[in-house]
């Protein structure tokens, strides 16, 4: 396999402290739909359980071999082949330069390796960087769910996006990353 500036690796229980620290960063926690308790052993257990699931794929994102973030794919409707993805960058190197490119291998994995036919993502209205990124990647804005979520006791609007496998197939070549999370070329 060719060494690439952007790569992915399976989290291990030894990554629990790292993932927990990233997940609890204010800029990440404020945009996450769920809260995570400050418990490394619970995080370790969650990683082990997640690695065993067939409806959940996750990886640590690396830039030039350095761990910078985390990405996950959840199958939400197996019979309909629908899923959702989530990403957070715990290290600034994952937020600059590589930008939306970290999503290309994830989308390739979703549509070409997992056989999903559609992704549906929800993003808080205040998360402007991710909202712009969804459009850049080719997602279609379905609409805005007013006061959909409660975060810290406050109602928050949620933007709903969707992408079909055919949408990704039509536009993915502009990103120049034709491999998936495991480094497999899906050309």
Structural domains of the chain sorted by starting position, each given as residue range(s) with its CATH number in brackets: 6-175 (3.40.630.30)
Q: Whats the size of the chain, residue-wise?
A: 187
Q: Residue 106, exposed/middle/buried by CB under 10 A (0-12, 13-18, 19+)?
A: buried
**pLDDT score at 33:** 81
The pLDDT value given to residue 2: 52
What gap in Å lies between CA 152 and CA 28, rounded to an integer?
Answer: 14
Regarding beta strands 82-89 and 118-124, do their DSSP bridges make them parallel or antiparallel, or are they unpaired?
A: parallel
pLDDT 10s per residue in the chain (187 long)? 456 778 999 999 999 999 999 999 888 878 888 888 889 999 999 999 999 999 999 999 998 889 999 999 999 999 999 999 998 888 876 555 556 677 899 999 999 999 999 999 999 999 988 898 898 899 999 999 999 999 989 999 999 999 999 999 999 998 888 999 999 999 7
Give pLDDT, residue 1. 46
pTM over 0.75: yes
H-helix or E-strand spanning residue 118: strand 118-124
E strand or H helix at 19? helix 16-23
Which two tokens mark 120?
A: 């549906």
Return the pLDDT at 177.
87
- Look at residue 78 in the predicted model and tell me its pLDDT: 97
């Amino acid at each position: 396999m060719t060494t690439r500036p952007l790569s992915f690796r399976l989290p291990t229980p030894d990554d629990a402290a790292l993932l927990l620290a990233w997940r609890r960063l204010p800029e990440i926690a404020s945009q996450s739909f769920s809260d995570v308790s400050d418990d490394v052993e619970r995080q370790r257990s969650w990683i082990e359980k997640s690695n065993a699931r067939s409806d959940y794929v996750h990886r640590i994102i690396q830039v030039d071999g350095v761990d910078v973030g985390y990405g996950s794919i959840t199958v939400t409707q197996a019979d309909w082949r629908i899923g959702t993805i989530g990403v957070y960058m715990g290290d600034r190197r994952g937020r600059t330069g590589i930008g939306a490119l970290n999503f290309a291998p994830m989308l390739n994995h979703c549509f070409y390796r997992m056989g999903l036919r559609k992704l549906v993502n929800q993003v808080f209205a205040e998360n402007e960087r991710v909202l712009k990124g969804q459009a850049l990647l080719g997602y279609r804005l379905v609409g805005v769910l007013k006061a959909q979520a409660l975060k810290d006791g406050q109602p928050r609007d949620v933007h709903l996006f969707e992408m079909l496998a055919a949408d990704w197939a039509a536009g993915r070549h502009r990103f120049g990353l034709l491999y998936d999370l495991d480094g497999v070329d899906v050309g």
